[in-house]
Amino acid sequence: MKKLICVLLIFGSNFAFAQEKITAIKAGKLFDSEKGTFLNNQVILIKDNLISEVGSNVKIPANAEVIDLSTKTVLPGLIDCHTHITGQPENYMEDLFRKSPVDVAITAHIYAKRTLEAGFTTCRDVGASEYIDVALRNAINAGKVPGPRLYVAGFFIGATGSHGDLTGFSPNVHFQQGSGVADGVDGVRKMVRTNVKYGVDLIKFGATAGVLSEEESVGAPQYSQEEMNAIVAEAHLWGKKVAAHAHGTEGIIMAVKAGVSSIEHGSFVNEEGIRLMKEKGTYLVADIYNDDFILSEYSKMGVPQKIIEKEKLVGRLQRENFQKAVKAGVKVAYGTDSGVYPHGDNAKQFFYMVKFGLTPIQAIQAATINAADLIGIKDKAGSISTGKWADIVAVDGDPQQDITLIEKKMVFVMKDGKVYKNQ
Ligand SMILES: [Zn+2]
């Protein structure tokens, strides 16, 4: 308010509105994510929070604030389509039995800030307890805490005894908190409605068993075809997209047939699954970095050996099958399962995506234009183009030569026209 009063005093009463803020970024190299090319010596003009002009012959207005990134590589703000930004593991027993959702909520903003500073200006957050993700998204959008723009799923919807249920404990142990456990066509429809009621942007459900849970299987289907169809149909009634957690071959095929927008993990996808995904345009969001972290760190955190053995079954095969899917031309969006490993390390997965079949350009497209397409915000994010949000990051060096520079040399982060990092 004070600022507005000052402006009015300076310009007099006939100048009723504060002037818009204009920023000009000089980009030495700029990634055109739609064409998949790098352009030299570009200027990006930003009015308030939107990109107003991009090109090599853009005139910089005299009143613009100039940011000089002429020795850097400028990319659209990165997007991680599979995060759990509200928490990360510290100790298996402590996390399960001594932390309440309040403990989780009170630290969630720390992880949001780390993620943003790593260059991720948007995240699709696919599962959190007690709608902490909704509250965090709202606080970020209101400018109360720094963090990526979030699209959140609320409770992970899963069947009784599934990956989304807390299993492996005595039947006498009861967890006094909400959950996304739902069974039967009516039950899953109601759970979708409940998530929508409390403000989610998308629906996430468990089509198959998982790794980081104590149920026996890694990949068995955990919903019937009818239940999966009902989840997707109900979500679509509300205009929400659906992400399916799916490791196993059969469950992947069932979820794709049900009409999900993305298969998360996709570890044991086979040729039929790949063919169906291509046919239906289903995105693959494969978290192919975190295997390293789980195998090196999880024993130390007291995670049961049973879970670590499951990861050993999944890790290598998931990377190989990712490569097959890429070769076949399945659409890929960047998603890491952050929260399984520490937040802020989101860019470590680029190395593996390049190692297992994508070119550096395709890997960056997966984390920009493809990710924006999957979330449904391609008109506002995913490329540095006129009319889009000014979500812009810069890397020192050339990520086309060395993709790990994105994780090691992220020197500049702007989200919505505001600078959060400038080294
Ligand atoms: Zn996950």
338 Cα to the center of ligand 1, angstroms: 8
Query: Is residue 113 located within the same domain as residue 190?
Result: yes
Query: Is residue 41 located within the same domain as residue 85?
Result: no
**DSSP codes, 44-67:** EEEETTEEEEEESSPPPPTTPEEE
Residue 17: per-residue pLDDT: 55
Query: Is residue 392 located within the same domain as residue 351?
Result: no
Residue 395 domain flag: yes
151 Cα to the center of ligand 1, angstroms: 14
Query: Is residue 56 located within the same domain as residue 101?
Result: no
User: Is the separation of the CB atoms in 122 and 103 below 8 Å?
Assistant: no
d(CA 110, CA 377): 25
Classify the C-alpha dihedral 110-380-391-38 as positive or negative: positive
408 Cα to the center of ligand 1, angstroms: 24
Q: Which CATH number do you get for residue 43?
A: 2.30.40.10
Token output for 18:
């504060």
Query: Is residue 241 located within the same domain as residue 339?
Result: yes
Count the neighbouring beta carbons within 10 Å of the beta carbon of residue 316.
11
Range(s) of the domain holding residue 360: 78-375
Residue 400 domain flag: yes
Residue 144 domain flag: yes
154 Cα to the center of ligand 1, angstroms: 12
Residue 11: per-residue pLDDT: 46
311 Cα to the center of ligand 1, angstroms: 13
Q: Which CATH number do you get for residue 271?
A: 3.20.20.140
265 Cα to the center of ligand 1, angstroms: 8
Query: Is residue 300 located within the same domain as residue 409?
Result: no
Query: Is residue 69 located within the same domain as residue 88?
Result: no
d(CA 14, CA 90): 59
391 Cα to the center of ligand 1, angstroms: 25
Residue 150 domain flag: yes
Residue 380 domain flag: no
Query: Is residue 126 located within the same domain as residue 61?
Result: no
Residue 213: per-residue pLDDT: 86
289 Cα to the center of ligand 1, angstroms: 13
Query: Is residue 28 located within the same domain as residue 67?
Result: yes
Q: How many independent structural domains does the chain possess?
A: 2
Query: Is residue 35 located within the same domain as residue 134?
Result: no
Nearest-10 crossing angle of helices 271-280, 305-328: 60
Query: Is residue 105 located within the same domain as residue 147?
Result: yes
Give the strand pairing for 262-265 and 78-83.
unpaired
Contacts of residues 298-304 at CB distance under 8 Å and 24 or more positions apart, as own/partner, are 298/89, 301/89, 301/90, 301/91, 301/92, 302/91, 302/92, 302/93, 303/89, 303/92, 303/212, 304/92, 304/168, 304/214
Amino acid (1-letter code) at residue 376: G
31 Cα to the center of ligand 1, angstroms: 29
308 Cα to the center of ligand 1, angstroms: 16
**DSSP codes, 150-182:** EEE--SPBB-TTSTTS--SS-TT----S---B-
CA torsion angle for 222, 224, 229, 232 (degrees, to 10)?
Answer: -20
> pLDDT per position in the chain (423 positions), as tens?
444 444 444 444 444 456 789 999 999 999 999 999 999 999 999 999 999 999 999 999 999 999 999 999 999 999 999 999 999 999 999 999 999 999 999 999 999 999 999 999 999 999 999 999 999 999 999 999 999 999 999 999 999 999 999 888 899 988 888 899 999 999 999 999 999 999 999 999 999 998 888 887 888 999 999 999 999 999 999 999 999 999 999 999 999 999 999 999 999 999 999 999 999 999 999 999 999 999 999 999 999 998 998 888 888 899 999 999 999 999 999 999 999 999 999 999 999 999 999 999 999 999 999 999 999 999 999 999 999 999 999 999 999 999 999 999 999 999 999 999 999
Query: Is residue 358 located within the same domain as residue 404?
Result: no
363 Cα to the center of ligand 1, angstroms: 20
Query: Which residue, 340, 355, 375, sits at the end of a domain?
Result: 375
156 Cα to the center of ligand 1, angstroms: 9
